[in-house]
């Protein structure tokens, strides 16, 4: 019987979306919150965004995470492209991540994540759309990167 190969532990993750204004900064901030001491985390967009979305800042603040100092960056701004895993959150980012793997060895996962800017409505409707994105990312991160329970005696 062949040995079962365990996947290598992930020590660096890049979250990518279209503008690096909402989805990838939220995912990176959540990942840093839970795993920032043992996993290097970064985020980028396919195109450079202007500034972090205020609704994203507001819904992250609800869970005690400050996103206000985030600066939008694109793939071109990356100083280091050595990541174990790229998690793309939009179709454009998935396409770009696949292109990157032609010149570097890393895994790519596609977590197609809704763009909350597509929701029309009042402030509360907008906040609710952003909360759904935040909570969806939170669930995926907890599932993909479970919190370690430490040693048992």
Please give the Cα distance from 27 to 3 (Å, whole number).
34
Q: Quick check: is 134 in a domain?
A: yes
Predicted local confidence at residue 8, as pLDDT: 61
Segment 34-83, tens digit of pLDDT: 999 999 999 999 998 899 999 999 999 999 999 999 999 999 998 878 89
Range of the domain at 29: 12-144
Q: What is the DSSP letter of 38?
A: T
Neighbours of 12 (CB within 10 A): 15
Q: What is the CATH number of the domain that holds 91?
A: 3.40.50.2300
In the DSSP assignment, the letter for residue 74 is B
Indicate whether 88 belongs to any domain: yes
In this predicted model, what pLDDT tens digit does every residue of 18-43 receive, in sequence order?
999 999 999 999 999 999 999 999 99
pTM over 0.85: yes
Tell me whether residue 151 is in a domain: no
Flag whether 152 is in a domain: no
């Amino acid at each position: 019987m062949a040995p079962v190969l365990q996947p290598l532990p992930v020590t660096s993750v890049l979250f990518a979306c279209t503008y690096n204004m909402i989805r990838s900064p939220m995912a990176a901030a959540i990942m840093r919150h839970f795993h920032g001491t043992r996993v290097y985390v970064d985020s980028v967009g396919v195109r450079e965004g202007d500034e972090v979305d205020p609704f994203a800042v507001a819904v992250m603040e609800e869970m005690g995470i400050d996103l206000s100092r985030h600066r939008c960056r694109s793939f071109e701004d990356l100083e280091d492209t050595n990541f174990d895993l790229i998690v793309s959150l939009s179709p454009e980012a998935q396409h770009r991540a696949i292109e990157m793997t032609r010149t570097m060895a890393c895994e790519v996962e596609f977590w197609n994540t809704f763009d909350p800017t597509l929701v029309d409505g009042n402030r509360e409707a907008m906040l609710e759309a952003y909360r759904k994105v935040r909570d969806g990312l939170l669930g995926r991160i907890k599932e993909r990167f479970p919190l370690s329970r430490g040693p048992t005696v």
